[in-house]
Amino acid sequence: MEVFTFIVLGTMVLLAGYAVTIYNNLVALKHRIAKAWSNIDIALKQRHDELPKLVATCREYMRHEQETLENVISARNSVAAARESHDIPSLGVAETALRSGLGRLFALAENYPELKANDSFQHLQARITNLENTIADRRELYNEVVNQNNTRIEQVPDVFIARFFTFVAHDLLQFSEGETSDVNIGALFNQ
């Protein structure tokens, strides 16, 4: 009888240890998602702060391109609203519109040699381009961690712990197909 009790207790301890390990791994993933989102949020805020400076610099030279400038500001505001509400699907749509507007703005700047030569414009363009690359890198990391989380909470035996402690799936940060398709540079210059 003692051997049977020892085996049962040993098995229960091993199962409890295994459950704790699964729980701790799920908690670690949850916090990695939060950290990855925070890193994206920081880059989005930095870009958000730089865009008015870029538009102000461009506005001095591009008086006839008011609609493009207004589209960039409108898209900037949409990104900020989606970011603040943590609405990942809306953020993807708003990011696509903003990136498209910035692409048009930078392409139109080619028609204004004085603007292209402006040190402030060059600095802001480089800064925003760097932030765009940072956002893309951080988005990739965020999506990777979200995918790991979403896979783990659906796999056996993790699914039982995840459901019991109400771990949830997260949305991937995706941009529309227009964001990933080839850009028609000629069309941007003719706008």
Average pLDDT along the chain, 191 residues, taken 10 residues at a time: 89 95 96 95 93 87 83 92 90 90 88 86 91 94 97 95 95 71 44 42
Q: Looking at residue 178, what is its pLDDT?
A: 54
Q: Looking at residue 131, what is its pLDDT?
A: 93
The continuous run of DSSP H or E covering 42 comes out as helix 2-61
CATH assignment, 2-189: 1.20.1440.20
Q: Looking at residue 61, what is its pLDDT?
A: 81
List Cα–Cα distances, 9 to 13, 19, 21, 153, 161, in angstroms.
6, 15, 18, 28, 21
Rg (CA), the chain: 24
- The pTM is what? 0.78
Residue 11: φ, ψ to 5°: -65, -40
Cα–Cα dist 107/5, whole Å = 76
The domains of the chain are located at 2-189
